[in-house]
Amino acid sequence: MPELPEVEVVRFGLEPAVEGAAVTRVQIFDDRSLRRHDGPAEDFVERLTGARLLRPERRGKFLWIPVDGLGRDGREEAVVVHLGMSGQVLLREPGAELDRLTRIVIDVDNPRHGPLRVDFVDQRIFGSMALDHLVAAADEPSHRIPSHVAHIARDPVDPLFDDEKFLRALARKDTTIKRALLDQTLVSGIGNIYADEALWAARVHYDQPTRGLSRPRAKDLLAEVRLVLGRALAEGGTSFSSTYVNVNGASGYFSQSLNAYGQQGKPCPRCGRPIVRENFMNRGSHFCPFCQRVRLPR
């Protein structure tokens, strides 16, 4: 599933294309990609056609494009995009051939770049688009976010992420550290790949009880999370196949820099012992049993 770096790469690529653009046409090829929209496909098409789009925003793995002005019910709105497992948002020239897995097409007219096409392509149809009304963010009432995103915590690369609040909440959690990192209500944007990489870098076992994690080690782990996310952003995200690409259809190459995730059987870059994969929450955790050991609380 695309995580923070992949979604941010898509947001960044969309920004110059859609900011200030007017929607000229909307085509729906598969209603399942509107499962999170409150209304039929015709409602999505009618409300979005003719709208002017603003600068795309992101929180965690959620991306949204605010719509200028008020919606039909007098509330501010945004197009919320969730990539799911295999969703792609691609920029195309008008008249370009459609991918056979295209689910939604939004034609826009940008005042600087002219006509463009935004294609939502999704192989497994776990992703979605929806028009959603904006609400005040709980931690910043002057900022408006989609109601679908209101329960999502800020992510570690957000300038307003509160380190102290996160560390206090983590200390109160009665769980294990990787489950905490994947809890999007505690900290957003971190998925399986970057959790494994940050835990390896911080020498913390994925099954480490949070109550046994000292404050200095928790601070070190948060720092490693930021470093891993930053490096992944710089390298365009992580691609293992063609399911994740940026808006121009190019793959990210952070997969070449992974130390733990997907490296089972290979030598740990730090100690040389084999990386191990264990089942975890219907997925896998990758770690070095020598470098990353569980430390029980006293």
Rounded Cα distance between 186 and 230, Å, is 20
61 is catalytic: yes
283 is catalytic: yes
- The DSSP secondary structure of 224-279, one letter per residue, reads HHHHHHHHHHHTT-B-SSTTS--TTSPPPBGGGG-SSTT-TTSBPTTT-SBPEEEE
165 is catalytic: no
Phi and psi at 109, nearest 5°, equal: -120, 110
Q: Which of 273, 283, 293, 295 is catalytic?
A: 283
Are residues 297 and 211 in contact, defined by beta-carbon separation less than 8 angstroms? yes
- How long, in residues, is the chain? 298
Q: Please enumerate in sequence order all residues whose Cβ is within 8 A of that of 232, keeping only pairs 6 or more positions apart, or say none.
A: 5, 194, 238, 252, 254
Q: Which of 11, 47, 58, 61 is catalytic?
A: 61
Q: Which residues are catalytically annotated?
A: 2-3, 61, 283
